[in-house]
Structure 1
Amino acid sequence: MKIFVRERRRSDKGQQRPRYRVVGVQGGDLKIYAKRIRKCELAELAEHTGAEIIYLARGEDEAEGVKPKG
């Protein structure tokens, strides 16, 4: 099983807010109801389900804090 996540756009280190957003889950029977999740929560989910966490790269515009067009 794989859990695909990406770092949130408006998330900075040191903030007391969840930093990752779950994009999708492949395989298994896992339902995630939270829109945003902390790294320690992801690690615990992966440990208990045997899933691999895949961190997706952010787009070039998002990396610089520029909102994508469209």
Structure 2
Amino acid sequence: MKIFVRERTRASEGQKLPRFRVVGVYGGDLKLYAKRIRKCELDQIASELGAEVVYLERDKEGKHK
């Protein structure tokens, strides 16, 4: 199972806001009800499921290349 996430642009480290947004899940039957998720929560979910977390890269300009 793979969980694809991307870092939010408005939330930075140390800001006490969820930094990641789940983009999709491949393989398995997982339903996430949160729009945004903290890294510690994401790691805990992945370890319980035996899933791999894939961090998608974003360009710094917010434009598609």
TM-score (norm 1): 0.85
Distance in 2 separating the partners of 1:36 and 1:43 = 14
How far is 1:14 from its partner? Answer: 1.0
Query: Could you tell me how far 1:28 is from its partner in structure 2?
Result: 0.3
1:14 counterpart = 2:17: no
Question: Could you say which residue in structure 2 is the equivalent of 1:61?
Answer: 61
CA distance in 1, matches of 2:43, 2:61: 28
Match of 1:27 in 2: 27
Shift of 1:12: 1.2
Q: Could you list the runs of 5+ residues in structure 2 that have no partner in the other structure?
A: none
Q: 1:27 and 1:4 mapped to 2: Cα distance?
A: 11
Based on CA coordinates, which of the two structures has the bigger radius of gyration? 1
Q: Secondary structure at the match of 2:25?
A: strand
Give RMSD over aligned pairs.
1.4
**More helix by proportion, 1 or 2?**
1
Alpha-carbon distance between aligned partners in 2 of 1:23 and 1:7, rounded to the nearest angstrom:
10
Identity among equivalent pairs (%): 63
Count of residues in correspondence between the two structures:
64
Q: Show structure 1 runs of 4+ deviating over 3 A.
A: none
Which TM-score applies when normalising by structure 2?
Answer: 0.91
Hey, what does 1:65 align to over in structure 2?
none
